[in-house]
Amino acid sequence: MMQPIKIYPEYAMILTYDVKQGVHERYFRWVTNNFLPALQSRKIYMQHAWHVVGLNQQPTRQIEFITEDLDTIRRLLKDPEWETLEARLKQYTTNYSLRVTRYNGTVKI
């Protein structure tokens, strides 16, 4: 049995977007099998995933990733593989945005 990963998060990388109509199943399969493992292998872990309904003009999906240091996120964002991952995610989404913030243990909307 795998032990839980224990980290002391200091930073969060927050992605917000809408999933395009007609691609939900392919999107979910790709995120689960490719996107999340690629970030986790870099010690960037998904903390929360939200699907928000009823906010006018706001993206409906928000995923929060956490890590222990800012350099981990900086290395990811400079990595050519990130460009590939982000480009593929954008194929499935609209209204995409990414922001990095200090982690304080609360949900960020």
| CA terminus-to-terminus distance, the chain | 34
- Residue 84 tokens read as 């590939």
Task: Supply the pLDDT for residue 54.
Answer: 66
Percentage of the chain modeled with pLDDT above 70: 90
pTM: 0.86
Report pLDDT digits (tens) over 53-69: 765 666 789 999 999 99
Q: Which helix (H) or strand (E) holds 91?
A: helix 80-92
Where b means 16+ CB within 10 Å and e means fewer, 54-79 reads eeeeebebbbbbbbeeeebbeebeee
For residue 6, name the pLDDT band (cuts at 50, 70, 90).
confident
**Average pLDDT for residues 19-39, to the nearest whole number?**
96
Q: Phi first, then psi: what are they for 17, rounded to 5°?
A: -175, 170
CB 60 within 8 A of CB 51: yes
Q: CA nearest 65: which of 85, 89, 51, 47? A: 47
For 14-25, how does the pLDDT look when each residue is reduced to its tens digit (9 = 90+)?
Answer: 999 999 999 999
Which residues have a Cβ under 8 Å from the Cβ of 16 and sit 6 or more positions away?
58, 59, 61, 62, 63, 95, 96, 97
